[in-house]
Structure formats: structure tokens, C-alpha cells
Amino acid sequence: MVESKITSLQNIKVKQMVALQQKSAERRKQGVFVVEGLRELIHCQEAGYQIETLFICPSLMNASTLPSSLSDVTTFEVTPEVYEKIAYRGGTEGAMAIVHSRILRLKDLKLRKKPLLIVLESVEKPGNLGAIMRSADAAGADAVLVCDPLTDIYNPNLIRSSIGAIFNVPCVACSSEECVSFLKAKGIRILTAQLQDSKLYYDTDMTVGTAIIMGTESTGLTNVWREAADAHIRIPMLGRLDSLNVSVSAAILLYEAVRQRMMVEHNPPFI
């Protein structure tokens, strides 16, 4: 239901949206974040997130394309100038919303018998984390655990690069120590991606409960993870560089786990 039309760049709701887009502290303080794009909004609502306020720009979208599930959300029409001011990116179909945040903890995770997890230690670039969320969704991972995070999981660039996967895959922020204790208690095998003292990733069994641990591209993993690992794995590098982008590496390792599990399901046990 459309409440009114916003035409002024000085409108209090415009200022709120800009602050939420730009400041993680403001998102934490208000307990909300911003979602842009119709596809992302649908994923968000289907995942059970509560949408507080919807903003639409009729000149950029056909209001009839909005799903009926959004019809009861408080809605404001905005001009193209206002939309350009509050939008983090272009090409978002003229729809964006303020959404209530969720705080998910390790104890809240519901894992299958042999879970597949991706663990990221101090990954600082929201675009990389968003891309990893997208790969985790595609590979059917149980969760993404972000240890000692340097970026807000509701960063608009993260949501954008995940194309809504952030709403489909459980994502928990915690310390590395908490995560190690959780994985050990659950009997989940810890595989650290590192160059030193490691073996090729496809020679490592990932058919059991598995957590793949990734560090930053600049410094790699800390000793907390190196010492907690059940195995160290690496991707062969045949050129002059010694590493891949962390999101590319995560995708390769996740799909190796998928490959091995499919072989177990359809063929004799993987060796």
C-alpha cells in the first residue's frame, strides 16, 4: 500500500536510507539493513526476513511486477532523483527496502548428518564474501561461518555480489576460537587451505562432515586454524602466481566436495 510520494532529497527517510547504505554502525544501531532489487527482495522475503519499508520508483519499474506478498508492506513512491540518491547501485529495477536484521549464532545452526561448511577467517572484502555466499548456495553448503569478520554481513556490496544468496545460506559471525570448538564438538573435519605442508585438494576425503577454511589472500590463515586442522589442502598453481582469488578458491573446493559426494551416492566409495 503506497503511503505517499517522496520528492525531496532532504526527506528524513532519504537521509535514513543513505546512512544505512554507507554506515555499518548505523545498520547495527537500528537493527536494519537495505536490500536493492526485486530478485533480492523476493529471496529475502522467502527466507522469512521482515521487510519494514518498501521504496519504488514507478519510472524505473512497473508496479504490477511486485509480488503480491509485498502488497501489505508500507510503501513509498520516489522520484528518479531520489532513487538515484538512496540506491547503492544502478539497474535495481526501481525497488528497494529497509529490512530487519537477524543475528544467527552457531547454536542456531541446523546441520545435516554430514555437513559441508565454508569458514572464512578475517576476509575483508564484502564483494569476495558475497561471491563465496553465491558459491555456497550453488554447492548446497549448510552454512558460511565468518570468523573475526572485517566486514558487515549486511554490507550492500556483499548483498549485491551474493545476488540474494546471503538470505538462502545461513551465515554466522563468530571468533575463530568459538568456531574451532563448535566444529570439534560436532565431529566436523577441518580442512585448511594453505600452501605449506599440504596435499592436493582432490586427494583429500570430503565425503564426511567437512569444514573448508579459507584465510585472507594477503596473510592466509592464523595459527589458530593451522593447529586445529585435520588436514592441509592446496590447489595446484601451474603458472607464476602462488594463489587465486579467495572466492574462486572457495568455489573450486566446494565443488570438489560436491563431486566426491555425488560419486559416493551413485558409484562405489570414493578413494
Question: Does the pLDDT of residue 39 top 90, yes or no?
Answer: no
Number of domains in the chain: 2
In a domain, 169, yes or no: yes
Name the residue range of residue 81's domain: 2-100
| Position 258 confidence tier, pLDDT thresholds 50, 70, 90 | very high
244 and 134 in one domain?
Answer: yes
Q: Tell me the DSSP string of 88-100.
A: SSS-STTEEEEEE
Report the DSSP pairing between strands 189-193 and 210-214: parallel
Instruction: Please state, as a whole number, how many other Cβ atoms lie within 10 Å of the Cβ of residue 174.
Output: 19
81 and 143 in one domain?
Answer: no
236 and 114 in one domain?
Answer: yes
91 and 136 in one domain?
Answer: no
150 and 60 in one domain?
Answer: no
In a domain, 121, yes or no: yes
Indicate the residue among 84, 100, 116 that finishes a domain. 100
CATH code assigned at 118: 3.40.1280.10
* Residue type at position 268: P
116 and 68 in one domain?
Answer: no
CATH code assigned at 51: 3.30.1330.30
46 and 165 in one domain?
Answer: no
Supply the DSSP symbol for 67.
-
In a domain, 133, yes or no: yes
In a domain, 33, yes or no: yes
Question: Does the pLDDT of residue 226 top 90, yes or no?
Answer: yes
Question: What value does the mean pLDDT take over residues 87-106?
Answer: 86
Residue pLDDT, tens place only, 5-22: 999 999 999 999 999 999
| CA-based nearest residue to 97, from 37, 162, 24, 29 | 37
Strand partners, 146: 120, 173
Give the span between the Cα atoms of 197 and 202, in whole angstroms: 15
Question: Does the pLDDT of residue 37 top 70, yes or no?
Answer: yes
Question: Does the pLDDT of residue 270 top 60, yes or no?
Answer: no
168 and 65 in one domain?
Answer: no
In a domain, 271, yes or no: no
Residue pLDDT, tens place only, 181-205: 999 999 999 999 998 889 999 999 9
Residue pLDDT, tens place only, 151-179: 889 999 999 899 889 999 999 999 999 99
